[in-house]
Amino acid sequence: MITKAYSSFFKELAKNNRKEWFHANKKRYENDVKMPFIQLLEALLPSLRKWDERILPDHKKAVFRINRDIRFSKDKSPYNTIMKAGFSPKGKKSIYPGYYLGIDAENVHVGGGLFMVQPPELKRIRDHIANKTDELIKITQQKGFTQNFGKLKGDKSKRLDKHLLPIAEKTDLIYNKQFYAFAEFPLEPFYNSESLTKEILDHFGQINPLNTYLNKAFS
């Protein structure tokens, strides 16, 4: 289970984001951060795989490294101050809809849907929305969805193909280039508590109909 020690490590890392400090505190990272985070992923995976059996059962395919990619960044801090995981068919960098989890020193970040959409997939998704417009509107207006996430999020295009313009009169979601839900809640109330797993799954459960809907655009 995640404890206060998890938060303490990341708060200190934020002030000492250097390789020397990290290596001197690597046992703390392994015991207080990485191990409980992986245990949480393993607790989540059975439920996620019931929703989509294509999600891989190996937590290693979901978790992101704590090391930052600093090749093209002005910020040369070598480590992330958050643990992150992505659950999608074929792994965390899949083109398919999935679920996102991030936990930093203070907050739990949960989300899902499609974050990175390339033009060929975007065309298929928009055509799917054009054919099943009311279904998407219903999913994104469900009480549980709006209470947890508000509106469906994502960058929007400025222009649309002409044949899609009538759909825009029903919903501006047809302009989206991304289709995801995102929310965060405080970590502290869940220290030493197995209820964190349930809380995350409750959020993911509200995203599941969206992912099921989006997946149909790929079939």
- For the stretch 157-191, pLDDT in tens is 999 999 999 999 999 999 999 999 999 999 999 99
pLDDT averaged over the chain? 95
| pTM (global) more than 0.75 | yes
CA atoms 142, 87, 6, 65: torsion sign: negative
Type of residue at 153: K
* Structure-token match 């928009």, residue found: 126
Q: Looking at the domain that runs over 4-218, which CATH code has it been given?
A: 3.30.930
Residue 63: band (very low, low, confident or very high) from pLDDT cuts 50, 70, 90: very high
Domain ranges (residues) in the chain: 4-218
- The reported pLDDT for the residue numbered 69 is 86
